[in-house]
Amino acid sequence: MIHTNTATVPCWDVYEITIPGNGSYTGKGVWARFINGSREVKVRGFYDGEKTWKIRFMPDQLGRWYWEAWSANQWLQAGSGEFECVPPVEGNHGPVQVWQRYHFRYADGTPYYPIGTTCYAWIHQDRELQEETLNTLAKSPFNKLRMCVFPKWYEYCRVEPELYPFAGEPPRNWNFNEFNPAFFRHLENAIVRLAALGIEADVILFHPYDHWGFANMGEQEDLNYLRYVVRRLAAFRNVWWSKGGRLHGRSPARIAFLRQIMEEGPGYGWEPIGADWARCRGCKKSNDRLLFYFGRHEAPPKFTFQLGEATHLRAELLDVWAMTRQPLDGEFCGEVTLELPTKPFQAILFHP
């Protein structure tokens, strides 16, 4: 995924320029300008320690790219160069984008249905557990993972990690102006391995479950940290950004069931139809695929559905909690009244 000073780079991979020279993590750095025809992108670099600066760029357009790098530091010989952006490898659909306001798709137009989970501090566990996590994710339905940069300290997660983001000594003797490149290389490797599994990395930048003082840095230290993280990770196509936050998950099996339903049928996404807080919620896909859901407080003995102009539709009763699908007899169109099992978490799916 990372190609250092190479002649060719697959589209949406990372092209990396390395420049020798001394420097500091928060001082004056290096910049580069990447040009392909009329398209021009400016990128800032970062100091990776060991007398090495790096600039990373994700080419999103095929063809010849030219670059020129410069620095405010006179002792850095930045230079210039070029590379060819070639078609992406199989399975690389590019970064996820918002599409038609309510939906997502990859840069190549492939629909993306976010089915996420959380492994907040997985990169801070022992190496064996990290490998077990990746093996488990490889067998799961998840295509998005929320994870933290900083380690966490709370119940079931009170361990000292092998690596820390800053130079210094645990638990609280840190130099917040000197980053630890070994830690960030470890973080990047984890993100690359998630990308190989088709998983988006939703990177949480801050959190309050702290034991080391990382949640109490000053404003300038926060800004230095943010700049450094963004310059290192922004070129990775599967990176999302979260300032913080907390989400709760459910059974992976139920999530897999939901993903299967969402991905069935042609077209991109599901459009909401005639829903409100007190009644059944509905959505449609390609005008002939309609889904009506009855939640926790909705268990009517029967319900009348409006199917629009679609004809010759079949129907299935979905028990979302039990993850079962029961075909209903007959074909349906127009206005249809069906008897329901009078329990929550049921859905009716109409389709050709």
Strand partners of residue 31: 44, 70
Q: Which tokens in the block code for residue 272?
A: 């909401």
The arrangement of secondary structure in 93-263, i.e. its CATH architecture, is Alpha-Beta Barrel (3.20)
Domain covering 1-89 assigned CATH 2.60.40.10 in the classification: yes
| pLDDT score recorded for residue 247 | 41
Residue 195 exposed, middle or buried by CB count within 10 Å (0-12, 13-18, 19+): buried
Output the pLDDT for position 100. Answer: 87
Cα 205 from Cα 225, distance rounded (Å) = 9
Question: For residue range 294-322, what is the model confidence (pLDDT) as tens digits?
Answer: 887 788 899 999 888 889 999 999 998 88
CA distances from 125 to 122, 153, 157, 201 (A): 6, 12, 9, 17
Q: What is the pTM of this model?
A: 0.73
Q: Looking at the domain covering 265-351, what would its CATH class be?
A: mainly beta
Write the pLDDT tens digit of every residue in 239-286: 999 987 554 445 667 777 777 887 876 666 777 776 554 456 777 777
- Are both 1-89 and 93-263 of the same fold? no
**3-class state of residue 218 by DSSP:** coil
Q: Domain extents for the chain?
A: 1-89, 93-263, 265-351
What's the Cα-to-Cα distance from 268 to each of 154, 214, 264, 265, 349, rounded to whole Å? Answer: 40, 41, 10, 9, 17
Cα distance between residue 21 and residue 285, in whole Å: 55
